[in-house]
Structure 1
Amino acid sequence: MDYTTDLGVSPQTLDAYWAQLSVHADLLTRVADEQVSALVLVFLRAGKAAVLVRSFE
């Protein structure tokens, strides 16, 4: 899961966030032998949060 406070996110920035989380998930799998079931981006906004999920199930 990654928390961000970006006010505006372009499609290119969103792709970069997913790529970054994918690298983290791969490292966790290799180092801790833990299987990652989903990547989650949480965009913190005043009053509410936007949550995007990519599941591997």
Structure 2
Amino acid sequence: MPDVDGPAERPEDPGAGILRPPTGMFHGDRTAVPKDLSGRLWVFLTRPEDVQEELWRRRPAAAG
């Protein structure tokens, strides 16, 4: 998905919701987790940054 921010910010039906708003992850992905009216969880994902493995392994430790 090219843009996780747009769809995640505007659930179309009352009762739908966002369990995790769009978030940049240490491994380079940007994800959002919405829930639909039937209770299904979805994961919207895009990769705005290609992270080299060496940096990918160091980022979680740097985050805390």
Give me the TM-score of the superposition, normalised by structure 2: 0.31
Bigger Rg, structure 1 or 2: 2
- Between Structure 1 and Structure 2, which shows a larger proportion of helix residues? 1
> Whose relative contact order is higher, 1 or 2, with alpha carbons under 8 Å and at least 6 apart?
1
Give me the TM-score of the superposition, normalised by structure 1: 0.34
- Between Structure 1 and Structure 2, which shows a larger proportion of strand residues? 1
